[in-house]
């Protein structure tokens, strides 16, 4: 059985990973995949990516890096994304992975106007979501966890935005039959979101934001999390799934 790749583009801060684990584990838990069905590729650390035909699907994680830095490992991964699209590989990008997919396919990424978007935020489906394989299952309004400074400012040609926030019109994007990405973090638990806010407490205050209010507004985000299982079910295939305990 071909594995699902977790393409690691970064790592959680030590203060968070020591208590809550790190990106690959969060995604594996959200996807509910067995260890044997997952292969982690640490591209930030120089791991080589396999041929797209050698895997059942791929998830690209978040990162503290910026897509606009055009780091060599990031640009190599962008080339791999284009190759994966050519063979219609099921693919999901999250945060940095979301931005990198858009960049790789011709979109424009840069800093979000007004600065950082952080916390549990309300999202709204767009009209394009009604006939989308995944987004049609989302309610008209739902919540998701987010923490980002850069965003997709212009979509690649042919891409569609499926969900928006008050500040970012491209929170959920469809690129092709089996490829989509989210600016928000479906893999975050409420506890992880709170940990990120606490870590940025002083920075948020300096930016004129209200970290205590952000903390109080954190709630579970089951609709956002459901996209991980939906990715497996609708795109990778039921054989890669593990039945819920």
Question: Is residue 26 assigned to a domain?
Answer: yes
CA 152 to each of CA 68, 109, 214, 230, 238: distance values in angstroms, whole numbers, following the listed order = 11, 5, 23, 23, 31
How far is Cα 137 from Cα 17, in angstroms, rounded to an integer? Answer: 32
Q: Return the pLDDT at 1.
A: 79
**pLDDT (tens digit per residue) in 145-196:** 999 999 999 999 999 999 999 999 999 999 999 999 999 999 999 999 999 9
Q: Return the pLDDT at 241.
A: 44
| Residue 90 lies in domain | 4-240
Give the global pTM: 0.95
Query: How much of the chain, in percent, has pLDDT values that exceed 90?
Result: 96
Question: Is residue 205 assigned to a domain?
Answer: yes
**CA 208, chain centre distance (Å):** 27
State the average pLDDT over residues 49-74: 98
Q: Comparing C-alpha atoms, which of 118, 121, 114, 131 is closest to residue 211?
A: 118
Residue 45: count other Cβ atoms within 10 Å of its Cβ.
10
Q: Comparing C-alpha atoms, which of 225, 218, 224 is closest to residue 118?
A: 218
Question: Is residue 83 assigned to a domain?
Answer: yes
* Whether the Cβ atoms of residue 154 and residue 167 lie closer than 8 Å to each other: no
**pLDDT (tens digit per residue) in 206-244:** 999 999 999 999 999 999 999 999 999 999 984 344 333
Strand-pair partners of 94: 182
Question: Is residue 245 assigned to a domain?
Answer: no
Question: Is residue 208 assigned to a domain?
Answer: yes
Question: Is residue 61 assigned to a domain?
Answer: yes
Which residues are tagged catalytic?
Answer: 95, 185, 187
Q: Is 104 helix (H, G, I), strand (E, B) or coil?
A: helix
Q: Return the pLDDT at 57.
A: 97
Number of structural domains (the chain) is 1
Question: Is residue 232 assigned to a domain?
Answer: yes
Confidence category of residue 117, pLDDT binned at 50, 70, 90: very high
The CATH number of the domain where 206 resides is what?
A: 3.40.50.880
Mean model confidence pLDDT for the chain: 96
Place of tokens 């594996």: 28
Residue 190: count other Cβ atoms within 10 Å of its Cβ.
13
Q: Return the pLDDT at 202.
A: 97
Question: Is residue 129 assigned to a domain?
Answer: yes
């Amino acid at each position: 059985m071909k594995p699902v790749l977790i393409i690691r583009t970064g790592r959680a801060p030590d203060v968070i990973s020591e208590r809550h684990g790190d990106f690959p584990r969060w995604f594996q838990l959200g996807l509910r995949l067995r260890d044997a069905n997952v292969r982690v590729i640490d591209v930030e650390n120089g791991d080589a990516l396999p041929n797209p035909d050698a895997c059942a699907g791929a998830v690209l994680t978040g990162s503290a890096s910026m897509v606009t830095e055009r780091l060599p490992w990031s640009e190599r991964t962008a080339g791999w994304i284009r190759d994966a699209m050519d063979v219609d590989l099921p693919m999901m990008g999250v945060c940095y992975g979301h931005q990198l997919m858009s960049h790789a396919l011709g979109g424009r990424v840069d800093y979000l106007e007004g600065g950082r978007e952080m916390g549990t935020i309300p999202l709204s489906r767009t009209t394009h979501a009604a006939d989308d394989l995944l987004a049609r299952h989302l309610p008209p309004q739902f919540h998701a966890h987010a923490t980002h400074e850069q965003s997709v400012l212009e979509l690649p040609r042919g891409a569609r935005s499926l969900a928006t926030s008050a500040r970012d019109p491209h929170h959920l994007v469809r690129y092709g039959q089996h490829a989509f990405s989210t600016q928000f973090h479906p893999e975050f638990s409420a506890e992880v979101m709170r940990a990120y806010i606490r870590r940025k407490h002083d920075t948020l205050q300096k930016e004129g934001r209200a970290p205590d209010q952000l903390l109080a507004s954190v709630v579970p985000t089951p609709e956002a999390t459901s996209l991980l299982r939906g990715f497996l079910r609708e795109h990778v295939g039921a054989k890669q799934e593990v039945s819920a305990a």
